[in-house]
A = this chain, B = another copy of it.
Amino acid sequence: MSLKSKQYTEVPGGITAPEGFLCHAVSAGIKDPAKPRLDLGLIYSTVPTVTAGMFTTNKVKAAPVRVCQAHLKLNDVRAILVNSGNANACTGPRGIQDAKAMATVTAQALNLKPTQVMVNSTGIIGLPMPIDRITAQIPDLAQGLSRERHQAVAEAIMTSDTKPKVLAIEVPLGSKTVRIAAIAKGAGMICPSMGTMLCFITTDAAIGLPELKKCTSDGVRNTFNRISIDGDTSTNDTVLVMANGTAGNRRISAGGPQYQAFAEALEYVMKRMSHMIVSDGERVTKFVEIAVRNAGTHMDARRVAETVANSLLVKCSWNGSDPNWGRVMHAIGYSRARIREESIDIYFDGHIATRNGIAADTPLDVLKAAVAKREFTVTIDLNIGSADYTVYTSDLSQEYVDFNCTEYAVRVASDDQAGAVSPWPRPH
């Protein structure tokens, strides 16, 4: 992920760095009623916005995703309410009712229509929302809106993330300067079974809706979709970009030079957030770029890149800093791409490990040093065509398994102990 191609000036202020945005975050006791932690956040634009959104392609969609999609169609978004600790997924008609209630109560507090509010949730699947505790906090949340609490909002959306993910930059646009800011929460594991990825982006640029939609979807395709293998998205994945035009720039229109500059800056922000997400994946110790070169077709290049990135045995080898190129060959072989075994070259961070499908003569120590780095590139040259594709992935650690093996039972038991917070029909 080349982050050096274009440098932008970073600015303080987080998600409220662009003009006209306010935010706040509180604890609603969703993550744990006994130990209050930030788990409910609100982002608000003081003026009307143009907003673009991209949502999970998973056929099992969380209730808030369905509600967001409906509200977004009306093209009049002013606020984003987001909670962590409960995904409100696989919760049936009651889940939809809860998501709508979150929008309605927020709208009342902000003097908006419910359809002007986006709602987002992340956390465990299959448990009912503690909706009364959430709605009880919303008036305070609206009351406390300011430009100060941006760090708290970045923290309120975290689940298994070890650190908040925030970026705000300035972008010169003609005679004006606009700002783009983002917060994100990471994935349980980036691939193959992605946990929820949420990213909220604010900008004070003035831009038309078709233009914002286009640069949002182009950016997502080149960044977030390169870390979400095979459409293997969670039930809740959401990217929202709100543009409120307060920077006073001439409205960005399709095809103009300012469109290009804005789209590049937006993609840069998305790239940086993608990088933060992979690096902070659950118990991840390595950030690995898999670059496939000279495949016969774009689809073949993508198949090879995603198959290698998804291979458990390959991921384990990264964890142990093992330059096990044979496992990479094995994954290439079952990727269903057209290949010629005897034409394949594999490089670990520029050092050739495999030439013409067999061991190259690079010393083992050099290869070991290459894959021992915190970040490195695996280049796979198929030497049969001219199509390229790159994905970004991580290793697989023992701690990941440990971390992910008891979530549901522990959570249900602790919810029960906390006094059956949820009105869900509890088993006898």
Contact = CB atoms under 8 A, between A and B. Distances in A.
A425 to B, nearest CB: 6
Given A125-B326, A126-B358, A357-B92, A341 B60 contact: yes
Interface stretch (A98-106, A165-173, A407-415): A407-415
A317 B60 contact: no
A80 B61 CA distance: 53
Contacts of A95: 358
Determine how many copies of this chain the complex contains: 2
A363 interface: yes
B124 A326 contact: yes
B358 A92 contact: yes
A320 B363 contact: no
A76 to B, nearest CB: 28
A314 interface: yes
Contacts of A313: 188-189, 193, 195, 404
Given A313-B404, A361-B425, A412-B364, A234 B330 contact: yes
A37 interface: no
Interface residues of A, number: 85
A363 B409 CA distance: 11
B406 A320 contact: yes
Interface string A395-428: 0111111101111111011001000000011111
Contact of A60 (B189, B321, B330, B405): B330
A127 B358 CA distance: 9
A359 B188 contact: no
A92 B330 contact: no
A407 B322 contact: yes
A144 interface: no
A368 B411 CA distance: 13
Contact of A405 (B319, B356, B359, B400): B319
Contacts of A407: 317, 322, 324
A135 to B, nearest CB: 21
Contact of A329 (B60, B193, B366, B404): B60
Contacts of A233: 334
A170 B234 CA distance: 50
Contacts of A329: 60, 89-90, 125-126, 235
A148 interface: no
Contacts of A61: 333, 341
Given A59-B339, A234-B330, A322-B407, 19 more contacts: A59-B332, A89-B329, A90-B326, A90-B354, A126-B325, A126-B358, A126-B359, A192-B310, A193-B312, A193-B313, A193-B331, A195-B313, A312-B312, A312-B396, A317-B405, A317-B406, A323-B408, A364-B416, A398-B398
